[in-house]
Amino acid sequence: MLTRHEQVPTGLYVRSVIVVSAFGVGALWLMRRLLDDGLYLLSSAVAAVTIFLVLVYLRRRYSAMRWMAIGIGITVLFAVYPILYNLYIGFTNMGSGHLFTKEQAIERLEDEQYLPQDAPTFRWLGYRKDDSFALLLVSDDGAVQFATDDGSIETLELTDPEAEQPGDINGYRPMATSEVAPMLDELADVAFGEPPTTIRVQSLREAAATVPRYRFDRDADAMVDLTDGTIYQAVEGSFVDADGNALIPGFMTGVGVDNFKRFLTNQNLRGPLTRALVWNFVFAFASVALAFSVGLTVAMLFEDLPGRRWIRALLIVPYPIPVLVSVLIWRSMLNPDLGTIGQFLARVFGSSPQFFLDPTWTRIALIMVNIWLSYPYFYVISSGAMRSISTDMLDAAEVDGASPWQEFRFISLPQILMITMPLLIASFSFNFNNFNLIFIFNNGNPPMAGTVIPIGHTDILISFIYKLAFVSSSTSDYGLGAAISVLLFVVVGSVTYFQIRATKALEAR
């Protein structure tokens, strides 16, 4: 309607061609580097986004895409790609010890150095220029060399530099011992001098020339240990020698549907996860139903009170406060020994419920806190809905002698429910994945007893995945976590599908 073949003004077009070309060059450079790392999936995603942007901005015809392309590009790279990549991880062994692609693992192993028995050692003094470092090396026979971390080494004519440390050398300034000591670990990782034989800091006094320990034999697809000639063959994500010893790090490799099989057939996983799923539904449903009831009640009761503006402003207090802050406050108020509420309950009933140790009480507390967090939202939307329902039917009902309860039950409530249903369903799917609350309140605890996996009585699926992936770095199993999150995608996707269909059905009426 509005536009037909409108052209982009020349000035704007020239500018966009320049920007797009610069962007394209940067993207090509990045893609090249990513391919070197063996990241083919990411590289293709970058390529797709680049081609899309170039096509959109190099056409002179004015189109809707010109207005949206940058947003689409960012979203594809940082939201859509992660979802797809997550799917891919679900089919790999990614996890502790298998974090890198094969190319990255080889590079890291080839970086590893070792100290041959007869290696020359030096005493050293540290030098620094901004973020780069250098060593002044004194060998046993008194020869002095200056080695930098960007690959250069030169011999200096100095006598006994240790007695009197020379000042600036080639723009590097000497470091005091007090400056060197705290960063010794950092310095130990830096290679000084010319590769392949590089010089590394061994201790506060000593440095030594080290050589690479491993070399990758591309034809044999194996790492060779140069110290003793052991061959480590690449098998299923690790480099393994004849005795079965694996090098660290291993690398990522496809494992087919193993992760899914492990999850779906493992009794140890399935029992606890079924319980988590049931609680997940109960939590989401109870939270929405109760918070909506509170919100609606508040809206009905206070909507026509004089001064309702003030009442509303005060009742919405919880809404803007960051969830983390609110839940931390509730956590401490409910602390059975020290919290205000805990102490109050202890005084009234003799003892306070264990809000963090007893599964049932933890669940009750979670739902109560969630009501506090979300009733202001439901209050706002249901008072909006109330204003939009017709009063004719209410007037008619009153004439017919209906009680206020009957008016509410049979006239107001059905209409309010119909208007707010899409939002209620949306809230359900939000709470189905309400990671924040579960995680901060008690991290899914108390833990279930007798399970082999880290899962608690109040864990919902999404918090369980997070635990599995990030709880302890020594046992992270990203592959399994990703596989479960793919299954959760399916659950969330179906809920959404019904949400969209229900919304459409409601709108059609």
Partner 1 sequence: MSRRRRSRRSWWWRYLLAALMIGFAALPVLWVVSASLNPAKTLVGATLIPKNPGFGNYDDLINHPSFPFMTWMFNSVKIAVIAVSLTVAITVLAGYALSRFHFAGKKHFMTGILILNVFPAVLSIIALFGLMQQIGDHIPWLGFNSHGGLIAVYVSFGMGINVLMVKAYVDALPRDLDESGLVDGATHGQVFRKIVFPMMRPIVVTVAVLQFFVVYGDFVIARVLLKSTDKLTVMVGLLLFQTLRFEQDWGIITAGAVIAALPVLILYIPVQNYVISGLTAGSVKE
Closest to partner 1 by CB, 156 vs 426, is: 426
Closest to partner 1 by CB, 105 vs 298, is: 298
Under 8 Å between Cβ of 418 and 409: no
Element (H, E) at 507: helix 478-508
Element (H, E) at 333: helix 323-334
Closest to partner 1 by CB, 84 vs 452, is: 84
Binds partner 1 (CB under 8 A): choice among 291, 365, 465, 467: 465
- Measured from the CB of residue 86, what is the shortest distance to partner 1 in angstroms? 4
- Contact between 256 and partner 1 per CB under 8 A: no
Binds partner 1 (CB under 8 A): choice among 35, 183, 389, 413: 389
- Side-chain half-sphere exposure of 265, counting CA atoms within 13 A: 6
- Measured from the CB of residue 117, what is the shortest distance to partner 1 in angstroms? 35
The residue with tokens 């990241």 is 39
Concatenated DSSP letters of 230-268: -EEEEETTEEE-TT--B-SS-B--B-TTHHHHHHHH-HH
Among positions 139-168, residues that touch partner 1 (CB under 8 A) are none
The 35-74 contact track toward partner 1, x by CB under 8 A, reads --x-x--x-------------------xxxxxxx-xx--x
- For residue 422, is the peptide bond before it cis, meaning its omega torsion is within 30 degrees of 0? no
Among positions 294-353, residues that touch partner 1 (CB under 8 A) are 298, 301-306, 311, 313-326, 328-330, 332-333, 335, 338-340
CA distances to 303, 489, 500 from 494, in Å: 37, 8, 10
- Contact between 435 and partner 1 per CB under 8 A: yes
Under 8 Å between Cβ of 150 and 132: yes
- Measured from the CB of residue 391, what is the shortest distance to partner 1 in angstroms? 6
Binds partner 1 (CB under 8 A): choice among 21, 75, 152, 268: 75
3-state helix, strand, coil in the chain (%, to 5): 55, 15, 30
- Measured from the CB of residue 56, what is the shortest distance to partner 1 in angstroms? 11
Concatenated DSSP letters of 296-320: HHHHHHHTTSTTHHHHHHHHTTTTT
- Contact between 454 and partner 1 per CB under 8 A: no
Among positions 270-299, residues that touch partner 1 (CB under 8 A) are 298
Tell me the C-alpha distance between 224 and 109, whole Å: 10
Interface segment toward partner 1; rule CB under 8 A; list 49-57, 350-358, 359-367, 494-502: 494-502
* Residue type present at position 206: E
Angle between helices 461-470 and 478-508 (to 10 degrees): 160
- Contact between 130 and partner 1 per CB under 8 A: no
The pair of three-digit structure tokens given for residue 153, joined into one six-digit string: 């080494």
Under 8 Å between Cβ of 479 and 92: yes
The 2-41 contact track toward partner 1, x by CB under 8 A, reads xx--x--x--x-----------------x--xx--x-x--
- Measured from the CB of residue 60, what is the shortest distance to partner 1 in angstroms? 13
Among positions 92-121, residues that touch partner 1 (CB under 8 A) are 94, 99
Closest to partner 1 by CB, 110 vs 241, is: 110
Closest to partner 1 by CB, 351 vs 496, is: 496
Chain centroid, CA 363 distance in Å: 26
Alpha helix positions (H), 350-446: 359-388, 392-399, 404-407, 413-432, 435-442
Closest to partner 1 by CB, 317 vs 449, is: 317
Binds partner 1 (CB under 8 A): choice among 412, 431, 442, 458: 412
- Measured from the CB of residue 251, what is the shortest distance to partner 1 in angstroms? 13
Angle between helices 308-315 and 267-302 (to 10 degrees): 160
The pair of three-digit structure tokens given for residue 263, joined into one six-digit string: 């999850």
- Contact between 202 and partner 1 per CB under 8 A: no
- Measured from the CB of residue 187, what is the shortest distance to partner 1 in angstroms? 19
- Contact between 264 and partner 1 per CB under 8 A: no
Closest to partner 1 by CB, 410 vs 470, is: 470
Of 295, 318, 319, nearest to 384 by C-alpha is 295
- Contact between 444 and partner 1 per CB under 8 A: no
Tell me the C-alpha distance between 76 and 82, whole Å: 9
The pair of three-digit structure tokens given for residue 278, joined into one six-digit string: 């049931």
The 347-386 contact track toward partner 1, x by CB under 8 A, reads -------------------------x---xx--xxxxxxx
Closest to partner 1 by CB, 66 vs 262, is: 66
- Contact between 418 and partner 1 per CB under 8 A: no
105: three-class secondary structure by DSSP: helix
Element (H, E) at 2: none
Of 95, 406, 44, 49, nearest to 250 by C-alpha is 95
- Measured from the CB of residue 105, what is the shortest distance to partner 1 in angstroms? 13
Binds partner 1 (CB under 8 A): choice among 436, 446, 447, 454: 436
Q: Residue 16 contacts by C-beta under 8 Å, 6 or more apart in sequence?
A: 8, 57, 58
Binds partner 1 (CB under 8 A): choice among 1, 163, 242, 348: 1
- Contact between 414 and partner 1 per CB under 8 A: no
- Contact between 260 and partner 1 per CB under 8 A: no
- Measured from the CB of residue 188, what is the shortest distance to partner 1 in angstroms? 20
Under 8 Å between Cβ of 468 and 95: no
